[in-house]
Amino acid sequence: ETAKVVDADDDSVTYEYTVLKGDCTVLDTWHGGAIAGLIDNLTASAVFTQKRKYFMYAGVSTDLHVSYVSTVPIGSVVLIECKIIKVGAGLANIAAIVKDKASGKVIATALHTRFNNDSQM
């Protein structure tokens, strides 16, 4: 299963994702590493919601800070809200909030910085 876009505009995108067995710890709760990996990919793709002069490609991560607030069990449907803070010539800054869709409970928050490597492609 992949994340699905459920809402988007010119500076944000919201995805829906179902937590799978392979995403979970031995206690069947969503693993922090799986959360961080998903946030990394989805915030990177959010850069493409902007009309931009730079970042023709998604760039590469230079910093990803995730704060884990609560857990959700396997099978939970979550929403990942990604908001562009700034896209410049060299760096892009994106924030994310991960919430349980059913309860609205915050699962994690994140700040992600990406480096523009367009000239290296």
User: Pick from 111, 110, 115, 59: which is nearest to 91 by CA?
Assistant: 115
Residues of the chain with pLDDT under 70: 1, 50-56, 119-121
* Domain total in the chain: 1
Query: pTM of the full predicted structure?
Result: 0.90
> Rounded distance, CA 14 to CA 39, Å?
11
Query: Does residue 121 fall inside a structural domain?
Result: no
Query: Does residue 87 fall inside a structural domain?
Result: yes
pLDDT at site 10 = 84
Tokens read off for 1:
């299963």
- Size of the chain, expressed as the number of residues it contains: 121
pLDDT at site 47 = 83
Domain containing 32 — which CATH number? 3.10.129.10
> Rounded distance, CA 55 to CA 46, Å?
11
Query: Does residue 120 fall inside a structural domain?
Result: no
